[in-house]
Chains A and B, each alone.
Chain A
Amino acid sequence: DQQVKQNSPSLSVQEGRISILNCDYTNSMFDYFLWYKKYPAEGPTFLISISSIKDKNEDGRFTVFLNKSAKHLSLHIVPSQPGDSAVYFCAAPQGNNRKLIWGLGTSLAVNP
C-alpha cells in the first residue's frame, strides 16, 4: 500500500498561471517531506522541502504547504514557466532517514 500518493498523473497549465501539485500521505510518523523535479533522461533534482514543525516553506516561485491534520501537502509554482515542465515527485524519509518513500510523480506541462 502506497504511503505517499500523488493522485494526479498529469497536469497542464498555461504559462504565467499557478501550478498546484498535490501529495497525500498515510503515515502520521512522517515529519519531513521533499519535492524533486525530474526532466526526461536526467536524474531527479531536489527542489524544496518542509518540516512538520512548519506549515509553509517558500523558495522563490516555489512554495510548499503542509496540512498535517489532512496528511496533505501541495507544491505551488507561481508564475509557471515552460521550463517548469517536468515530472515532480513528493517523498518522505522513513525510519532512520536512510530511505525515501516516493510518490509516483505528477507530470507537469506548462504551455506557452
Chain B
Amino acid sequence: DVKVTQSSRYLVKRTGEKVFLECVQDMDHENMFWYRQDPGLGLRLIYFSYDVKMKEKGDIPEGYSVSREKKERFSLILESASTNQTSMYLCASSLEGGGVCEQFFGPGTRLTVL
C-alpha cells in the first residue's frame, strides 16, 4: 500500500519561530511537492523537487524554503513563521515519466501561527 506520511497532523507555533514540516514517501517516487490549501484558494504549489537536491519554485514560494537530501524525504521550512502562513500544508509525490502524473498525498499538517 503506497504511503505518504507527514510528521505532524496539527502544529501550533509562534510568530518568528523556525518551522520544519517533514514528508516521507515509500513509493520510490522521483517527484515531491509541497502545497498549501486555504478556503476559496484551492491547492497552491509552494515548491517541488524532481530529484535529490533539486528544487523548483512553485506559485507561492515566498517565505518558504525546502530541502531534499534523500529521495524519500522532502522538508518544508518556514524560516520565520508569520500569521499569514496559518494553513493546511499538503505533501505529495509522483512518479517521473511514462506519462504518469497522478500525485499521491499525505494526510496534511494543519499549522497555526499565533
Contacts and interface: CB of A to CB of B under 8 A. Distances in A.
A86 to B, nearest CB: 13
B92 A43 contact: yes
Interface stretch (B60-68, B69-77, B78-86, B99-107): B99-107
Given A49-B102, A97-B99, A44 B50 contact: no
Contact of B94 (A9, A42, A44, A98): A98
A16 to B, nearest CB: 29
A45 B105 CA distance: 7
Interface residues of A, number: 20
Interface string A41-60: 11111100100000000000
B34 interface: no
Nearest to B58: A99
B102 A104 contact: no
A102 B40 contact: no
A98 B30 CA distance: 10
B102 A46 contact: yes
Contact of A97 (B42, B43, B100): B100
A104 B108 contact: no
A89 interface: yes
Contact of B90 (A9, A43, A98, A104): A43
B4 interface: yes
Contact of A43 (B31, B41, B96, B106): B106
Given A44-B90, A46-B102, A49-B102, A89 B43 contact: yes
